[in-house]
Amino acid sequence: MPNSLFRDPARMIGAMEAQIASFTENNILLERSLGTADAEELVLKVRALEQKVQDLQPTPEQVVIGDDATDLQEAHARFSAFAGKIKRLSAAMESLEAQLVSLYEERAKLERELGRADADEIIAAFHHLSAK
């Protein structure tokens, strides 16, 4: 399949445009949502979130429950709030992971289809072919 694209410049340009558009959209989404589209920075952010989740997990010493029902209700409310925070952080981590997986899949597809995955190289090749 990739060889047939190279034989037909118009198809190759169309495929490159589609890949560049998809790559650009994902980068914009990552940049807006997470402040960066750099894979290494995103991995560091995910690891930092994982550490925060780990740090938020209470130790047995931190869970203090009194003898009366009010203390038990308060402990339950605190636990529920904490569980909600963990759930939100977990969802954020899953979203980051999914975005990273998608980014790497798109880069692999660019590499497979076009022989390169670097956006600057693809754009340069596109401009070179467009100029012909």
Tokens of 103: 């980014």
Of 109 and 4, more confident? 109
Report d(CA 85, CA 123) in Å as an integer.
Answer: 42
Report d(CA 132, CA 116) in Å as an integer.
Answer: 20
Question: pLDDT at residue 126 above 80?
Answer: yes
Question: pLDDT at residue 3 above 70?
Answer: no
pLDDT digits over 25-63, tens only?
888 888 888 888 888 888 888 888 888 888 887 766 665
